[in-house]
Amino acid sequence: MPFAEINGAHLYYQDIGAGMPIVFVHAGIADSRMWDTQVAAFKTQYRVIRLDLRGYGQSAPTDGLYSHREDVLALMDRLEIDQAVLVGCSMSGKMAIDLALEQPQRVAALVVVAARPNGFSADAPLSPLVSDLAAAEAAGDLDLLNELEILYWVAGQGRTRAKVDPIVWALAIDMNRIALENEGHGDEKPPVEPPAIDRLHELSVPTLIVCGECDVPTMILAAAAMEQGIPSARKIMLTNAGHLPNMERPDEFNRAVKAFLNEVL
């Protein structure tokens, strides 16, 4: 299993296939395993790279200041990748937008999954789970917090655990538990300024926005704002999917991303 020393971190990554590089970066409740189906689907046509950010999956947490977007760029440099397609989910979708604003020459195309740009806010209804999440976090009950977070994010709005594929649920529980255990290490550097929400019009790279129809309302509103604000953007909504739509609807997700890349690259 390959690891790279990146900006003082020991990061796990996978590099497979040949062709235009695609870098898959995971959500904050997940790790690189969330892209298993995408690796299998894209490696025959593209060079596929995925990584565990520091504190996730097989990458240990670190203390001190760090930047996920600097880590992704440094890994690209190490792998001699001048330009890549960036696919980021949730926190990494937000990170990918900042990276594309800061280093547009490094980004061939952008796929933003279940994310909101830095600076975005919306008056959206709150789930009744929010108070339960706060109580579990205050009590330090990681088992309960993990279960509630996956219910909140993966099951999402209007669905129960029973509506989520048990394989997806089990993997999400395992990935998020690692993330929860590693919280509290280091401090992430601030996002780009001015914030991305005020600079969407500057994004010149082809952009696909993917949202699950059962995701939390803020993410659905953010997807609409990005579709309107990014000049090159198009959006797809995947039915019966929450915050990890690529895991719940892999065939639809893969078809949509492949069609998008075939058109814009």
pLDDT classification of 16: cutoffs 50, 70, 90 = very high
Give the pLDDT confidence of 96-118 residue by residue, as tens digits. 999 999 999 999 999 999 999 99
Residue 1 clears pLDDT 70, i.e. is over it: no
Do 92 and 177 belong together in one domain? no
Full domain range(s) for residue 254: 3-122+185-264
CA 50 to chain CA centroid, Å, is 11
pTM for this prediction:
0.97
Do 23 and 149 belong together in one domain? no
Do 45 and 149 belong together in one domain? no
Do 145 and 247 belong together in one domain? no
Residue-averaged pLDDT of the chain: 96
Number of residues that make up the chain: 265
| Number of domains composing the chain | 2
Task: List Cβ neighbours of 219 (8 Å cut-off, separation of 6 or more).
Answer: 114, 115, 116, 211, 243
Give the pLDDT confidence of 136-185 residue by residue, as tens digits. 999 999 999 999 999 999 999 989 999 999 999 999 999 999 999 999 89
Do 142 and 74 belong together in one domain? no
Q: Determine the pLDDT at residue 79.
A: 98
Do 40 and 169 belong together in one domain? no
Residue 38 clears pLDDT 70, i.e. is over it: yes
Do 247 and 166 belong together in one domain? no
Do 169 and 39 belong together in one domain? no
Q: Which CATH number do you get for residue 256?
A: 3.40.50.1820
Do 47 and 136 belong together in one domain? no
Give the pLDDT confidence of 117-131 residue by residue, as tens digits. 999 998 887 788 989
Do 12 and 81 belong together in one domain? yes
Give the pLDDT confidence of 182-209 residue by residue, as tens digits. 998 999 999 999 999 999 999 999 999 9
Do 227 and 194 belong together in one domain? yes
Give the pLDDT confidence of 55-102 residue by residue, as tens digits. 999 999 999 999 999 999 999 999 999 999 999 999 999 999 999 999
